[in-house]
Amino acid sequence: MTSQTPSRRYARFVATGAYLPERVVTNEELGKLVDTSDEWINARTGIRRRHMAADGEMTSDLATRAAEQALNNAGLDIADIDLIMVATATPDNTFPATATKVQANLGMTHGAAFDLAAVCSGFVYGLHMADALIGSGKATRILLIGAETFSRILDWEDRTTCVLFGDGAGAVILEANDVADGDTSPQGILASEIRSDGRHYDLLYVDGGPSATQTVGLLRMKGKEVFKHAVRNLAQVGTAVLDQTGMTAQDIDIVLPHQANKRIIDATVDKLKINPDNVMLTVQDHGNTSAASVPLALHRAVEEGKVKSGDIALFEAMGGGFTWGAVLARW
């Protein structure tokens, strides 16, 4: 009769992993391809370089490498994982899900694997889903990966988009953390909010697809419009997750934002009144890697000791759809 029943099951972060393709493409190199310059790209976006997948290197390959590192860092075996989610807008094939390829690459024959399509918000959507699945008892340990090969869907003659994106993958493992009544500082996801508004399709989309054109298509974006929506939407979800927990901007130890543009990150952090020193920036080295950008930033933050046990972390992202979301977690 004295045994204590858990009051809530949290989704706790166990470990991270990352993989970036070997080839680095600098702004100067892009200047030989289209009419642009390091000065313009850096001033408008903060990007200096990005990684690009080699011929034949696919999203599932990047995802598998990041997943292997996360498993290794966690000291876990694939047998310990019961679900794989891959957030991606650049799957290897129209079907099957890239996640099932990763599952096969990792030698996993139990459980389930599926892809999640929310473009740049995919990883944050994935955290929201992982929290729901772990919290409800439908999963115990989830491997969540954000992986992209955006270089394959860029129009290399369009300077307004081709300079912005890069390839890469980041992975996290989340597991059930049963917290007893009275524990005031549980580790794990504390609050999350996901949003979308499909009316903005034409501001950021790929002009192809199996059902629409029977082709893969290329990325199209009205950057200035996306920029305005991004700052407003990110500030809105950031405020929403703080409100859910009763925390304030001063409680945040580290922000792990989607790395699309340094100016968007600065403006959002300013709007939320968060200390700019607490923001993890990788956009200069990776460009916008869509669903991979947040877990890549997280992995670097962990490696550099910028996120420590007990820290309060804010994740946020916005992308095509539009989709957007934020997650507040205790590391």
The catalytic residues are: 120, 258, 288
Specify the length of the chain in residues.
331
Position closest to ligand UT7 via CB? 223
Residue 113 or 163 with smaller CB distance to ligand UT7: 163
Paired residues of 303 in beta bridges: none
Report the alpha-carbon distance of residue 226 to residue 219 in Å, rounded.
Answer: 13
Residue 66 or 219 with smaller CB distance to ligand UT7: 219
CB of 228 to ligand UT7, least distance (A): 9
How many binding residues for ligand UT7 (CB under 6 A)? 21
CB atoms within 10 A of CB 158: 14
Report the alpha-carbon distance of residue 243 to residue 236 in Å, rounded.
Answer: 11
CB of 166 to ligand UT7, least distance (A): 12
Here's the x/- map for ligand UT7, 134-173, by CB under 6 A: it reads as -------------------------xx--x----------
Report the site for ligand UT7 in 239-268 (rule: CB under 6 A): 260-261, 264
Is 223 a binder of ligand UT7 (CB under 6 A)?
Answer: yes
Here's the x/- map for ligand UT7, 264-303, by CB under 6 A: it reads as x-----------------------x---------------
- The pair of structure tokens assigned to 170 is 């980041």
- The pair of structure tokens assigned to 106 is 């990792």
Gyration radius of the chain's alpha carbons = 19
Is 46 a binder of ligand UT7 (CB under 6 A)?
Answer: no
For the chain, helix, strand, coil in percent to 5 are 40, 30, 35
Is 45 a binder of ligand UT7 (CB under 6 A)?
Answer: yes
Q: Which one-letter amino acid corresponds to residue 80?
A: D
CB of 115 to ligand UT7, least distance (A): 18
- What is the sign, positive or negative, of the torsion defined by CA atoms of 177, 291, 149, 196? positive
Would you tell me the crossing angle of helices 262-272 and 223-245 to the nearest 10 degrees?
Answer: 40
Residue 119 or 130 with smaller CB distance to ligand UT7: 119
Out of 80, 135, 195, 227, the residue judged to bind ligand UT7 by CB under 6 A? 227
| DSSP strand pairing (141-149 vs 167-180) | antiparallel
Degrees to nearest 5, angle at CA 112 with 111 and 113: 140
Residues that bind ligand UT7 (CB under 6 A): 36, 40-41, 44-45, 120, 159-160, 163, 204, 223-224, 226-227, 230, 260-261, 264, 288, 318-319
